Amino acid sequence: MSENPQFDILAIAAHRDDVEQTCGGTLLKMAQQGHRTAVLDLTQGEMGTRGTVAERGREAEEAARILKVSWRHALDIPDGRVENTYENRCKVARMIRQLRPRVLILPYWQTRHPDHAKAGVLGYEAAFVAGLAKLDLGAPPHRPFKIIYASLYADARPTFVVDITEQFETRFASLMAYRSQYQDQKAGSELFPREAEIHERIASMAGYYGLLGGVKYAEPFVQKEVGLVDDLLAIPVQSI
């Protein structure tokens, strides 16, 4: 990494394969539009029912290649123990300062997996810490301009959706790069859907959010800020 890299978009997630599920199509679309994208996984995934840390690391690299992600790294926060501590905030803030993203994508703050929910809160507070001028983290202060939350698995109405119709199959391929997780096997068979069912399930979810946005497939996001509109005639999505 160069001394002062500038990334347009940074997605932070608790585990390797989280971004592929929730915002992989969006990351690919942004890369195809010429934006520099990055992924920061908070854990190594050592507590997963399937696969080893080494396997998931190799699979994450392949998934990043498929999604045209410019940079990916996994921190050493314990899997199953993602906590919003000062130490962890500084770890994440240090990466935000180094990468200097304009947009930060975080997991939605309410979800089934505690690590995912805590990753969203940790990421937000780390972004705040990253902007503190008097805190020495080895790189100049920086805060993202926009923070959005990937809300695919949350019971929340999205603020907006991103059309990933053209990116859907490649996004699916990035998820299936995690063969240790999604290939049919005995370990975790009672928890994981059969490999043949995964495409249908993912297509159903993407199709639902696509329907909300008037496209075939989409990924949902939430922003906490009120949106700003300059031209009423340019607002997308037909009302009736």
Q: What is the mean pLDDT of the chain?
A: 92
Q: Is residue 138 part of a domain?
A: yes
pLDDT one-digit tens code per residue, 155-190: 999 999 999 999 999 999 999 999 887 876 565 556
Q: Is residue 22 part of a domain?
A: yes
Q: Is residue 2 part of a domain?
A: no
Q: Are the C-beta atoms of residues 205 and 72 closer than 8 Å to each other?
A: no
How many structural domains is the chain composed of?
Answer: 1
Q: Is residue 235 part of a domain?
A: no
Percent of the chain with pLDDT over 90: 82
For residue 2, count other CB atoms closer than 10 A to its CB. 6
pLDDT one-digit tens code per residue, 209-235: 999 999 999 999 999 999 999 999 999
Question: 68: which 2 tokens?
Answer: 């045209």
Distances (CA, A) of 19 to 58, 127, 142, 229: 16, 18, 23, 29
Closest CA to 18 of 41, 46, 47: 41
Range of the domain at 31: 9-224
Q: Is residue 48 part of a domain?
A: yes
**What distance in Å separates the CA atoms of residue 56 and residue 76, rounded to the nearest whole number?**
14
Q: What pLDDT, on a 0 to 100 scale, did the predictor assign at position 151?
A: 97
For residue 43, the domain's CATH number is 3.40.50.10320
Q: Is residue 234 part of a domain?
A: no
